[in-house]
Structure 1
Amino acid sequence: MSESANTAGHANTITVTGRGAVNAEPDYFHINVGIEARRDTVKAAYAAATGAVTAIQQRLIDLSVAQDVVGTEALNVHADEQWLEGKTRAVAGYIVTTTLNVMLRYDEGAADIIAAVVDAGGDAVRIHGLRPGVSDLSAAQDAARAVAWADAVRAADMYAALAGRTLGAATAITEVFDQGMVPMARAMSGVDDASLLALPVEAGQSSITATVQVTWQLL
């Protein structure tokens, strides 16, 4: 919490920043699926990456995952350079990487879908993490705003009392809204048995925060 007092002639004011946070249960999450293929030529690496992506997309279709919740976010091609004896650098092959973003709901067999994605993509798959989300933030936002306002009023009342003053009308209100999310997973790679990835995916809680800066007259 931060506060500042401002004096301009006979108009004394106090400005206080209040912060509030409430918990909300996520109902969906984004899974970031990386595909990486290393081959001797660009063409072979690209073909391998394409094959893995195609297999993953087909598996998602088989599992009734809507195509409009699956999107490609990145595509990169670069040389795999290695240092050889004598400190010389040589091209050992080529690497093609791409990233798929898949939006899933917690209640639609998410753990099995993730396991199926890894199984379909094989060693080319890298799960870079899960990012939870809340479909309807309205109620949680309003609750966080109310907590932030109460926090600002409490602090302003305290400082006014310490100064032997009382609060007058609020003359300025500025809101900065922010949504915080709890990290859900670490990256996974090099898994030999994809069936081991059918682990429970729990929604947990997401922290929805709000910040308000209020200026009051001092009486």
Structure 2
Amino acid sequence: MMKKRLTLFGLLISTLIVLSCGDSDQYVGAEKNDLEVGQTSTQLIGSTTGSAKSGLSTGSSPTGSIQGIAVTGSGVINTKPDLAVLSLGIESRGQTVGSARSDAAEAMARLIISLEKNKVRENHIKTDHFNIYPEYTYEEIYEDGNTYSRQKITGYRVSNSISVQTSDLERVGEIIDDAALAVGDAIRINGINFTIENTESLEKRAMAMAVSNVIDKADRISELANVKRGALIYITNQNVGSATNNMLERSSMSVFSDYASTPINVGQLTIEVTVDALFGIIN
């Protein structure tokens, strides 16, 4: 009887052990399956993320620049000037500041009278520079067996420069000649500029020509490249060319003759406008 009970008890324990081992294996298997599912999900997310980055990279420009048809155009207008600006002056020297300044004042007064006789209005005469300079010489001094140079003032120089405007271009040569005769050797002709008093309307015309030029160039390029020109993306104005012509620089009394008149050629002026433009491309 006792043996039968022990046998039944042993069978019961064995059964519990087997059942316990079976549950453990199933639980471990479940953990493995859950881990494998998690790894698969992570790979999909990584793949999706990688695909998204690739799409963004493909959609953006590597350089960040705008693609299109870039052109530069210009508009040029040649015209005659209508205003002359003369830079005239006088120069005098004297042993003292007072004597040099007095001589300069008298010379400038004669110059102004000469200009007024040639119908140059007072408000078209403007002082540009007035200077008084000491003039030096260097002398060698022998003293106690040593030689050295010493600066010594020998006199003073006074210069007075004015700018003169006139719209009577045919009288420019006569104005210069009369000024030289009135002032004498003290006259200084520093330069003549021919310009246009009001360039606004001419600049507008040149700009319209430049804009038309860039459109024409863009159309020709698009035709040759077998594409269609799109809308204007941007347009910028580079510069407006100067409408000034320098005729004479740094002349003095020596260029004039007592008998011959001074020939002055007015010539032509050029106004140039340059623009840069970028047009889109229609695919």
Question: Considering the TM-score relative to the shorter chain, is it more than 0.5?
Answer: yes
Aligned to 2:247, the other structure's residue is in SS state: coil
Residue identity (%): 26
Distance, in Å, in 1 between the alignment partners of 2:125 and 2:90 is 14
Does structure 1 residue 32 correspond to structure 2 residue 94? Answer: no
Count of equivalent residues: 214
**1:140 is matched with which residue: 202, 219, 226?**
202
User: 1:95-137: per-residue Cα shift (whole Å, max 9, x none)?
Assistant: 1112111111244522211111111221111101110112342
- The 1:7/1:155 distance shift into structure 2, 3 A limit, reads farther
Distance, in Å, in 2 between the alignment partners of 1:215 and 1:11 is 9
What does 1:5-84 correspond to in 2, within 5 Å?
12-84=67-139
1:35 CA drift (Å): 1.6
User: 1:140-175: per-residue Cα shift (whole Å, max 9, x none)?
Assistant: 323322332244334434554565533211122222
1:197 CA drift (Å): 6.2
Does structure 1 residue 120 correspond to structure 2 residue 182? Answer: yes
What does 1:197-212 correspond to in 2, within 5 Å?
198-212=261-275
**2:277 is matched with which residue: 190, 200, 214?**
214
Q: Is the 8 A contact 2:196 2:244 kept in 1?
A: no
Does structure 1 residue 187 correspond to structure 2 residue 272? Answer: no
Aligned to 1:183, the other structure's residue is in SS state: strand
- The 1:57/1:128 distance shift into structure 2, 3 A limit, reads same
Q: Which amino acid aligns with 1:113?
A: I
More deviation, 165-174/123-132: 165-174
Q: Which amino acid aligns with 2:161?
A: T
Kindly indicate whether structure 1 or structure 2 has the higher relative contact order, using CA contacts under 8 Å at least 6 residues apart.
1
The answer for unaligned runs of 5 or more in structure 1 is 1-5
* Larger of the two Rg values belongs to structure: 2
- The 1:150/1:89 distance shift into structure 2, 3 A limit, reads farther
- The 1:160/1:76 distance shift into structure 2, 3 A limit, reads farther
Aligned to 1:114, the other structure's residue is in SS state: helix
- The 1:192/1:167 distance shift into structure 2, 3 A limit, reads closer
User: 1:43-80: per-residue Cα shift (whole Å, max 9, x none)?
Assistant: 11111111111111112223332111111111111211
The answer for unaligned runs of 5 or more in structure 2 is 1-60, 141-147
More strand by share: 1
Please give the TM-score of this superposition, normalised by the length of structure 1: 0.82
- The 1:169/1:98 distance shift into structure 2, 3 A limit, reads same
- The 1:179/1:192 distance shift into structure 2, 3 A limit, reads closer
Who is 1:165 aligned against? 227
More helix by share: 2
Q: Is the 8 A contact 1:111 1:197 kept in 2?
A: no
Does structure 1 residue 91 correspond to structure 2 residue 176? Answer: no
- The 1:88/1:151 distance shift into structure 2, 3 A limit, reads farther
Distance, in Å, in 2 between the alignment partners of 1:13 and 1:193 is 60
